[in-house]
Amino acid sequence: MNDVMVEYIDLYKAFDHPVLAGVTLDVGRGETISVVGHSGTGKSVLLKNTIGLIVPDAGDVVIDGQSVVRADRRQLARIRKKVGYVFQNAALFDSMSVFENVAQGLSDEEQKELGTKALLAKVAEALELVNLTPRKVLSKLPSELSGGMRKRVGIARAIVGRPEILLYDEPVTGLDPVNGTVVHRLIDQLSTELGVTSIIVTHDIEGTLPISDRVAMLDHGRIRFVGTADEFRNSTDALVRAFLERDVPDTDDLLEPV
Ligand SMILES: Nc1ncnc2c1ncn2[C@@H]1O[C@H](COP(=O)(O)OP(=O)(O)OP(=O)(O)O)[C@@H](O)[C@H]1O
């Protein structure tokens, strides 16, 4: 069995300007890795390349030994079945119930094959995994839930098909610190319980470091740093230091009269 689950190989992507400029990174099977970096540096673009939502100009992404770039439609569908994608802002359908939203994590064929009863059981199981009580939330609309609960429903949708890889795009953005901690604990819990490989794109450095095996920092479309949380905190690289220190509020600024 290959120990590498996701390989980004010399990945290039430009839109009206270069975004990814030669990203190479291996993510181990069962590993949790956080991808951090300044705004606009290509973190979400990297995540979208993982499942072919964006096609790179050069380079490849290899999932469990299989090229995403060279995959035909059927192969791509098979690769995508291995991956759960937690979109930014949960991206739930407003007019659909929680049940219907979570079921969207399965294809129409999978839903049909399961039938009503087994589908309900599968959705309920996914909700339980994200610590929501199915009977309380199944028929609710997203607007009837708190922001933290909506995020958890988004995660339930990503895990309902029992993926081997979970991709999280800004999983705690917009949440208060308490709910942010709940979601980080949940990501950690799912990593252990489901044994999944997790890639987390995030701005919340403090929240993500404790649950990450490694951290990768993107800068100007390239991996500037990759290492453990401790190595990241103690890095002497000037750009890493500047990035980390930016996150700590300057108390003098806070005391400035306004
Ligand atoms: N589909 C697209 N078409 C054109 N440009 C795009 C597209 N997707 C992303 N970009 C551009 O690529 C750059 C990187 O965007 P990306 O969303 O990956 O940044 P990010 O590092 O995730 O930023 P943030 O932390 O602010 O979410 C941005 O300049 C963005 O405008």
At 110-135, the pLDDT tens digits run: 999 999 999 999 999 999 988 899 99
pLDDT value at 253 more than 90:
no
Q: How confident is the model at residue 44 (pLDDT cuts 50, 70, 90)?
A: very high
Six-digit token string for 249: 């509020």
- List pLDDT tens digits, range 168-201: 999 888 888 888 898 899 899 989 988 999 999 9
How far apart CA 118 and CA 134 sit, in angstroms, is: 14
Kindly list the domain boundaries of the chain, sorted by start residue. 4-245
Q: How confident is the model at residue 247 (pLDDT cuts 50, 70, 90)?
A: low
**CATH number attached to the domain at 4-245:** 3.40.50.300
Supply the pTM of this predicted model.
0.90
**Closest ligand 1 atom number to CA of residue 46:** 18
Highest mean pLDDT among 12-21, 146-155, 245-254: 12-21
The predicted pLDDT at position 218 comes to: 96
Closest residue by CA, ligand 1 atom 13? 40
Cα 242 to ligand 1 centre (Å): 22
**Closest ligand 1 atom number to CA of residue 37:** 21
How far apart CA 155 and CA 126 sit, in angstroms, is: 9
Six-digit token string for 182: 């709940």
Q: How confident is the model at residue 148 (pLDDT cuts 50, 70, 90)?
A: confident
Average pLDDT score over residue span 67-76: 94
Cα 246 to ligand 1 centre (Å): 21
How far apart CA 20 and CA 220 sit, in angstroms, is: 7
Closest residue by CA, ligand 1 atom 27? 39
